[in-house]
């Protein structure tokens, strides 16, 4: 395989997002757009990745540097067009010789196999390879003009196109590949004599053709090349990501009765034979293991759900919730930074934070792990097979021994020994006939008031 490099264009201002956050840091599937492009370049084996940024976008620059180092960034100032943007990477790639692909930082959903196909065109003799798509509404996209053999003749920007060219629906995604030396040589001849007064990357196709080179296209679905300029397009890209991720999850052997109501994060891992009921939200870092069931209206982040566990309905799992196989968590239970051993249960209405719960323990309805005193957080440990009665408050730091019982309504502030019973609540008393006497007395008082 030839050496590969990627230049990712991200120097546009993104003003139509109306955001203080740089456009390409807005997330799709929970992952900043620019990270999709970087991950794509990495997944096709690009050994050099250069992001072209605006000097104004400091948050973007530090974000990119944290992933690619200082060498991963070049600045474009002022932005004079896509061709000019690619040229800014020329010095940084001086020592690179191989195949170069240009990606756009605001087009997050391109598939690795599509970029592979583009590189393959370069390897099999094309001077330039362009990723195209059939546009439902070609609008302002550059049109791909092909000859009878399907070779690419030129890319014509909408502003420059004739009426016949505007009628072409095969459009430029903005992703273009060439040998690096050839890319920069062609770019050195691009001028800005056009409708926008910009240096168009797309002009390298016409120049390569004039040199006698062949230019080829690769095509993909329009949904894979949604470019994001507005929040509407951001929402469209999110929807396209969700559609893709849901079908990937279904293909792995997962049952979802209403997949269109289940929302994934790009890193969600679901094993086979999991069932996900309607209206479930996955935040970052969730793994659901084989045979587990996630019931309706659950909100999950940073959680590892063990095999054959049942979660929900209406469960909230927060970062550090680690459930071993066969755990059962029922409605209105919140679990954070808590490990639950095999077969442990919390069936109703609890907050379990900063805890360690032994295998087979049963946490009764309304149990609270009081983990925070307003300053620091403390740990609650519940031993194997322990039974916590309903509506108990376990005030951390505290340990309930293996097999111990805690009586309902207890406020437990001291450790409980293994196999002991701890009860910490007001003692029950009883006054025989008190209620009858009370009612008689109050009825008399009320009657006296009415008369007077
Ligand atoms: C470009 C293509 C067009 C294609 C469309 C797909 C050119 C001349 N036209 O048009 O054929 O159909 O993308 O979306 O290439 N950028 C910079 N510096 C610049 C200009 C742009 O970094 O000086 C970046 C932008 O941030 C963006 C990308 O390049 O990520 C594309 O720029 P944009 O202005 O959206 O290009 P279009 O005019 O839409
Ligand atoms: Ca654009």
Query: Cα 309–313–316 angle (5° rounding)?
Result: 80
Helices then strands, counting H and E runs in the chain, come out as 9, 36
Residue 145 CB–ligand 1 contact under 6 Å: no
Q: Which atom of ligand 1 is nearest to the CA of 81?
A: 23
Question: What is the whole-number distance in angstroms between the Cα of residue 274 and the centre of ligand 1?
Answer: 42
Report the alpha-carbon distance of residue 234 to residue 255 in Å, rounded. 28
Residue 88 CB–ligand 1 contact under 6 Å: no
Catalytic-role residue among 266, 299, 339, 348: 348
Catalytic (active site) residue 63: no
**pTM of this prediction exceeds 0.85:** yes
**Nearest of 102, 107, 143, 105 to residue 225 by alpha carbon:** 107
pLDDT of residue 110: 98
Q: Which residues contact 330 (CB under 8 A, 6 or more apart)?
A: 312, 313, 315, 345, 346, 347, 348
Q: Which atom of ligand 1 is nearest to the CA of 227?
A: 14
Which residue ranges of the chain lie beneath pLDDT 50?
A: none
Q: Which atom of ligand 1 is nearest to the CA of 85?
A: 18
pLDDT of residue 1: 77
Question: Which residues are in the CB-under-5-Å shell of ion ligand 2?
Answer: 227
Q: Which ligand lies nearest the alpha carbon of 106?
A: 1
pLDDT of residue 143: 98
Largest CA distance in the chain: 113
Q: Which ligand lies nearest the alpha carbon of 161?
A: 1
**Nearest of 74, 80, 83 to residue 102 by alpha carbon:** 83
- Beta-bridge partners for 305: 288, 323
Report the alpha-carbon distance of residue 259 to residue 290 in Å, rounded. 18
Q: Cβ(76)–Cβ(54) under 8 Å?
A: yes
Q: Which of 104, 176, 195 has the most ligand 1 atoms within 8 A of CB, as the residue to mutate? A: 104
Q: Cβ(316)–Cβ(294) under 8 Å?
A: no
Annotate 224-253 with b (16+ C-beta within 10 A) or e (fewer): bbbbbeeeeebebbbebbbebbbeebeeee
Residue 117 CB–ligand 1 contact under 6 Å: no
Give, using CA atoms, the residue closest to atom 22 of ligand 1: 11
């Amino acid at each position: 395989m030839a050496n590969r490099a990627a230049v990712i264009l991200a120097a546009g201002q993104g003003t139509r997002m109306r955001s203080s956050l740089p456009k390409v840091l807005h997330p799709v599937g929970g992952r900043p757009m620019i990270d999709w492009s970087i991950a794509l370049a990495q997944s096709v084996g690009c050994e050099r990745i250069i992001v072209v940024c605006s000097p104004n976008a400091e948050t973007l620059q530090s974000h990119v540097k944290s992933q690619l180092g200082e060498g991963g960034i070049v600045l474009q100032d002022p932005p004079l067009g896509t061709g000019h943007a690619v040229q800014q990477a020329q010095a940084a790639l001086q020592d690179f010789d191989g195949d170069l692909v240009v990606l756009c930082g605001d087009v997050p959903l391109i598939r690795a196999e599509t970029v592979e196909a583009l590189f393959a065109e370069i390897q099999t003799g094309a001077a330039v390879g362009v990723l195209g798509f059939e546009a439902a509404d070609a609008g302002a996209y550059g049109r791909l003009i092909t000859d009878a053999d399907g070779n690419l003749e030129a890319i014509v920007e909408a502003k420059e196109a004739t009426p016949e060219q505007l009628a072409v629906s095969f459009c430029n995604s903005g992703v273009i590949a060439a040998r690096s030396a050839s890319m920069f040589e062609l770019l050195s001849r691009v001028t800005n004599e056009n409708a926008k007064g910009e240096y168009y990357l797309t002009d390298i196709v016409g120049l390569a053709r004039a040199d006698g080179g062949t230019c080829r296209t690769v095509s993909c679905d329009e949904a894979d090349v949604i470019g994001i300029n507005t929040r509407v397009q951001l929402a469209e890209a999110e929807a396209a990501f969700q559609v893709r991720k849901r079908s990937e999850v279904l293909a792995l052997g997962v049952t979802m009765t209403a997949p269109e109501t289940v929302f994934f994060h790009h890193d969600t891992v679901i094993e086979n034979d999991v069932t996900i009921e309607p209206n479930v939200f996955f935040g970052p870092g969730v793994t659901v293991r084989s045979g587990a069931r996630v019931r309706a209206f659950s909100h999950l982040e940073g959680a590892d759900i063990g095999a054959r566990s049942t979660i929900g309905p209406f469960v909230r799992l927060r970062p550090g919730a680690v459930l071993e196989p066969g755990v059962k968590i029922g409605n209105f239970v919140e679990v954070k930074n808590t490990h639950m051993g095999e077969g442990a249960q919390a069936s109703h209405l609890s907050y379990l934070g900063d805890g360690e719960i032994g295998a087979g323990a049963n946490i009764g309805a309304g149990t609270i792990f009081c983990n925070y005193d307003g300053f620091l957080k403390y740990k609650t440990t519940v031993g194997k097979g322990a039974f916590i009665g309903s509506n108990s408050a376990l005030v951390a730091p505290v340990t309930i021994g293996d097999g111990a019982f805690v009586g309902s309504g207890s406020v437990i502030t001291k450790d409980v020994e293994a196999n002991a019973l701890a009860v910490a609540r007001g003692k029950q008393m009883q006054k025989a006939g008190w209620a009858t006497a009370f009612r008689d007395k109050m009825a008399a008082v009320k009657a006296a008031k009415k008369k007077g």
